[in-house]
Structure 1
């Protein structure tokens, strides 16, 4: 092999190494590992949908996607936790629709916010999760969400008007911007008393974390 060929081979290897490094940084540079020191960027406020204790010792904030199967699986557990600690725990739901993965997640979030304008956010939150498998594959779930709105006693004409209104879209977009700015690892993402935690995986696991916070 000539000297010039060796030089070309060397530089080719260096360039290839740089390309691989750039690709790896692009893949992993925007991820935050669960259980890291990430703190909640926006504290719980009057614009949030929060239920549970009025003066909680433990706050749970979830960034969630209505079309995410894992989020639907976590929903009964969270409901049970709030019921188990009525005087100590509050739960706040925030939107984090994974737009590239779940085509209907954003509209589902808007449906819940539209219901919220009529005072029934949590009713819609529950029925959307309970029927996830029925609407997630629809090309356009608008009619389905309107049927859900009727089933929980909403004014469906008002619901339809609000569903695609700027006010409702901004509510969902605001939460999405927060989640993106914190580089959350995915859905569901949980904050316990303001700190990002790894998903406990079970009711017992989550309860033990709450018990530990209450014992502080």
Structure 2
């Protein structure tokens, strides 16, 4: 089996000098609040920051987190569109909801067998998070270093040294 690219879901300039890695859970309200802040950070960084999203479903407390992660993976090149819909509708993550979101963005099947083939990617992300010491979501790493500040635009810009 091919090795999983942990940086496969990136947003921003591929050659940005700063990489911010987020370990997230689509059912986590804190991740939902962080998502637009992180997008705005990238969008206003002038190409300085790229965001990498890695799955860290907290399945013990969030019953739909894993299926949502699998659906996002199954959305393929529409990952970021699905990402945004999942965070916008965190209280509606049943298989029927996921199928509806896939239809809205023009993605193929994102539940059942179609989703299960993406399990290795979600598991690889999760394992890398465990190895990095991730305990909750969202957890951010800036160029490999744990970011412990608030997920606030100004705080992030300051910590990353961008104006």
TM norm structure 1: 0.69
Higher share of residues assigned helix = 1
Is 2:154 the partner of 1:204?
yes
Larger Rg computed on CA atoms: 1
- Compute the displacement of 1:200 (Å): 2.1
Alignment pair present for 1:78 and 2:38: yes
Unmatched segments (≥5 aa) in structure 1: 1-44, 136-140
**Structure 1 position 180 matched with structure 2 position 130:** yes
Q: How many residues align?
A: 158
Structure 1 segments, 4+ long, off by >2 Å, are none
**Structure 2: any 5+ residue segments left out of the alignment?**
none
Which residue, out of 97, 118, 132, partners 1:144?
Answer: 97
Map 1:65-144 onto structure 2 (within 5 A).
65-116=25-76, 119-135=77-93, 141-144=94-97
Aligned to 1:12: none
Alignment counterpart, residue 14 of structure 2, candidates 50, 54, 70: 54
TM-score by length of 2: 0.90
Task: Report if the CA contact (8 A) 1:64-1:187 is conserved.
Answer: yes
Separation (CA, whole Å) in 1 of partners of 2:151 and 2:96: 34
SS in 1 for 2:15: coil
CA distance in structure 2 between the aligned counterparts of 1:129 and 1:194, rounded to whole angstroms: 25
**3-state secondary structure, aligned to 2:146:** strand
Structure 1 residues 25-44: aligned runs within 5 Å:
none
Asked if 2 retains the 8 angstrom alpha-carbon contact of 1:65 and 1:95, the reply is yes
> Residues 190 and 199 of structure 1 are in contact (CA less than 8 Å); yes or no, is this contact kept in structure 2?
no
CA distance in 2 between partners of 1:203 and 1:46 (Å): 25
- Contact 1:95 1:175 survives alignment (8 Å): yes
Partner Cα separation in structure 2 for residue 70 and residue 87 of structure 1: 25
